[in-house]
């Protein structure tokens, strides 16, 4: 009986196929649609969509709006998630996995359902219908908090205790240890948490539609409108490309592409 043997290359084939079919080709299609226009039933090369986006006040204000909402939501997420992740990772609790599970538990329920429930809750408090911006931010934070907690937790948990001990030994007080050692070492978790929260906050229009009663339009909604109701795939693709570019830029600036160090390996997966 001969052993069935796969080489590494062969094992990569399924994913390569997947990558080509569902990532590369669609991306090329989006690019194609973004830089073309349909005139009298014929598709021609065109920069019109690009120019249109940057000259339309409605689109630019939508972009600004989504950007603002995403930044505020991400910042709040980070402020809430960091202490929690820190406490969880540093605690010697035996059942801390159970605690962690409690934070991730909401993710197991369909998020449309959760947001609908949140809508009723906000109505009960009296915010619904009057505080649209606040509601959307509450919704985004509620929805994406686990995505911030998880990467932070994994990085902080893997943090080598000897670094901290060394820092205290050398005379650092608790604050110095945190600002000079713990926080810089947890940066990869922070960065991946930010990218995990920031990007969907700009596009998750179920949250903005449901909690603001369709009063707030964010970029994701605009893309959807262009594909479904306005019947203009070219503009929809262009907005997607611009969104992609913004995310790419934010990754670049936050150092998301830097080569991973030993202790941060895996944290960026989240």
Partner 1 sequence: MKHRFASCRPLRLLADLLALFLAVPFLFCLAGCDSKQETVLRVYNWEDYISEPGDEEGEDEYVDLIAKFEEENPGIRVEYSTFGTNENMYNELKINPGGYDLVCPSDYMIMKMIEENMCEPFTDDFLQNSNYAAYASPYIRELFELNGWTKYSVAYMWGTMGYVYNPETVKAEDLTSWAGIWNDAYSGKSTIKDSVRDSYFLGVAYVYRDELEKLAEEYNVRNLSDENYAEYNAKVTQIMNRTDEETLEKVKDSLIDLKKYLYGFEVDSGKQDMVTGKISINFAWSGDAVYTMDEAEPVYNEDTGKLEADGVYLNYAIPEECSNIWFDGWVMPKGANVELAQKFIDFLSTPENAVANMNYIGYTSAIAGDAVFEEMIDWYDESYVDESAGPSSPNGGRGFDEEGHPLQAYDLNYFFQGTGSYDDYCIYVSEESLSRQIFAQYPTEEVITRSAIMQHFDNATTTAVNEMWEEVKGLPIPVWAYIVIAVIAAICIFVLLSFLYKGRRKEYKPKKGYRILKKGF
- Name the β-bridge partners of 38: 43
Tokens of 209: 């539609």
Taking CB under 8 A as the criterion, which residues in 128-167 touch partner 1?
A: 128-130, 132-133
**Shortest Cβ 233–partner 1 spacing (Å):** 8
Does 260 sit near partner 1 (CB under 8 A)? no
Helix (H, G, I), strand (E, B) or coil at 258: coil
Q: d(Cα 134, Cα 130) in Å, to the nearest integer?
A: 9
**Shortest Cβ 3–partner 1 spacing (Å):** 9
Residue window 7-46: x/- pattern of binding to partner 1, with contact defined by CB under 8 A = ---x------------------------------------
- Of 26, 29, 61, 165, the one binding partner 1 by CB under 8 A: 61
Q: d(Cα 34, Cα 210) in Å, to the nearest integer?
A: 29
Whether the CB-CB separation of 192 and 270 falls below 8 Å is answered with: yes
Residue window 174-213: x/- pattern of binding to partner 1, with contact defined by CB under 8 A = -----------------------------------xx-xx
Q: d(Cα 129, Cα 123) in Å, to the nearest integer?
A: 8
Residue window 79-118: x/- pattern of binding to partner 1, with contact defined by CB under 8 A = ----------------------------------------
- Of 229, 257, 259, 262, the one binding partner 1 by CB under 8 A: 229
223 CB contacts (<8 Å, ≥6 apart)? 203, 236, 239, 240, 243
* 65-73, 144-152, 190-198, 257-265 -> range binding partner 1 (CB under 8 A): 65-73
Q: Could you give the angle at which helices 96-104 and 57-90 cross, rounded to 10 degrees? A: 160
53 CB contacts (<8 Å, ≥6 apart)? 59, 60, 235, 238, 239, 242
Q: In the complex, which residues of this chain contact partner 1 (CB under 8 A)?
A: 2, 4-6, 10, 56-59, 61-62, 64-65, 67-68, 71-72, 123, 128-130, 132-133, 209-210, 212-215, 217, 222, 225, 228-232
């Amino acid at each position: 009986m001969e052993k069935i043997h796969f080489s590494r290359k062969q094992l990569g084939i399924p994913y390569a196929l997947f990558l080509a079919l569902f990532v590369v080709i669609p991306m090329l299609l989006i690019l194609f649609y973004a830089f073309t226009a349909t005139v009298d039933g014929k598709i021609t090369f065109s920069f019109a969509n690009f120019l249109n986006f940057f000259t339309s006040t409605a689109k630019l204000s939508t972009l600004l709006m989504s950007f603002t909402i995403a930044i505020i939501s991400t910042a709040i997420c980070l402020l809430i998630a960091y202490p929690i992740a820190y406490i969880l990772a540093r605690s010697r609790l035996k059942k801390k996995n159970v605690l962690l599970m409690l934070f991730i538990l909401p993710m197991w329920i369909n998020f449309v359902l959760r947001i609908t429930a949140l809508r009723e809750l906000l109505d009960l408090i009296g915010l619904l219908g009057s505080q649209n911006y606040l509601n959307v931010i509450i919704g985004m934070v509620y929805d994406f908090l686990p995505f911030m907690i998880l990467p932070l937790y994994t990085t902080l948990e893997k943090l080598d205790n000897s670094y901290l001990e060394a820092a205290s030994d050398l005379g650092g007080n608790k604050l110095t240890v945190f600002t000079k050692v713990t926080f810089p070492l947890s940066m990869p978790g922070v960065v991946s948490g930010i990218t995990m929260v920031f990007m969907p906050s700009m596009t998750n229009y179920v949250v903005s539609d449901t909690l603001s009663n369709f009063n707030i339009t964010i970029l994701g909604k605009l893309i959807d409108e262009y594909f479904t109701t306005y019947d203009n795939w070219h503009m929809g693709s262009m907005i997607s490309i611009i969104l992609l570019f913004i995310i790419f830029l934010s990754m670049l600036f936050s150092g998301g592409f830097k080569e991973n160090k030993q202790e941060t390996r895996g944290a960026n997966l989240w």
